[in-house]
Amino acid sequence: MTGGPLVVLVGPMGSGKSTVGALLAGRLGAAYRDTDADIVAAEGREISDIFVEDGEERFRALEREAVRTAVAEHEGVLALGGGAVLDDGTRALLAGLPVAYLSMDVEEAVRRVGLGAARPLLAVNPRRQWRELMEARRHLYTEVARVVVATDDRTPEEVADAVLDALDLKKET
């Protein structure tokens, strides 16, 4: 049993969980961990290949076990994948943890990820697809979060500072 993660980041793809997570770890002098990277390492294949070969349901089960392991043994900053909150079991694992929801509006999402071929979820009609995705997920991000930090018009450094302030965590000087 450990003290658990210092910060857990949730939020939609492109909200900056991985970028801000690494910065936060630097500020806190703590280790950074990303469950997507844990899954890729354990499976020896890319996330997109797991989706295509085994389907989303299987990916969410792998993700749940990755979150279970990470929250049990990681004492630093933990970033989750954008869809992790869709799974009931994963949400249950987050109860009581210092979870920060990185939010952004639709225009910011389209600017950051909407035009990238690497995000097929948003490839056809980015604005409409983003709104649909957020309608299904927004309440789940809010449900698991202790604090919500808006990332629109903020640099990753500013977002990291806002997370530290919101969770009342001390910065390394």
Ligand X SMILES: O=C(O)C1=C[C@@H](OP(=O)(O)O)[C@@H](O)[C@H](O)C1
- In the complex, the residues that contact ligand ADP under the rule CB under 6 A are 11, 13-19, 82, 112, 151, 154-156, 159
Distance separating alpha carbons of residues 168 and 173, to the nearest angstrom: 15
Taking the complex as a whole, the smallest distance from the CB of residue 117 to ligand ADP amounts, in Å, to 13
Distance separating alpha carbons of residues 42 and 62, to the nearest angstrom: 10
Taking the complex as a whole, the smallest distance from the CB of residue 96 to ligand X amounts, in Å, to 23
14 is in an annotated binding site: yes
User: In DSSP terms, which residues pair with 9 in a beta bridge?
Assistant: 79, 100
Of 19 and 129, which CB lies nearer to Mg ion in the complex structure? 19
Among 18, 35, 129, 151, binds Mg ion (CB under 5 A): 18
Distance separating alpha carbons of residues 106 and 94, to the nearest angstrom: 26
Q: Which two tokens stand for residue 165?
A: 């302030």
114 scored as a contact of ligand X (CB under 6 A): no
Distance separating alpha carbons of residues 161 and 171, to the nearest angstrom: 8
Q: Which of 92, 80, 95, 66 is nearest to 32 (CA)?
A: 80
165 is in an annotated binding site: no
173 is in an annotated binding site: no
Q: Which two tokens stand for residue 72?
A: 């049990």
User: Strands 7-10 and 99-103, how do they pair?
Assistant: parallel
Taking the complex as a whole, the smallest distance from the CB of residue 103 to Mg ion amounts, in Å, to 15
137 is in an annotated binding site: yes
CB closest to ligand X, residue no: 81
Tallying the residues shown for the chain, one arrives at: 173
Binders of ligand X in range 127-166 (CB under 6 A): none
Task: Please give the size of the binding site for ligand X, defined by CB under 6 A.
Answer: 8
Among 22, 37, 47, 106, binds ligand X (CB under 6 A): 47
131 is in an annotated binding site: no
The C-alpha angle with vertex 111 and arms to 45 and 149, in degrees rounded to 5, equals 85
> Which residues of the chain form contacts with ligand X (CB under 6 A)?
13, 17-18, 36, 47, 81-83
Q: Return binding residues for Mg(2+).
A: 18
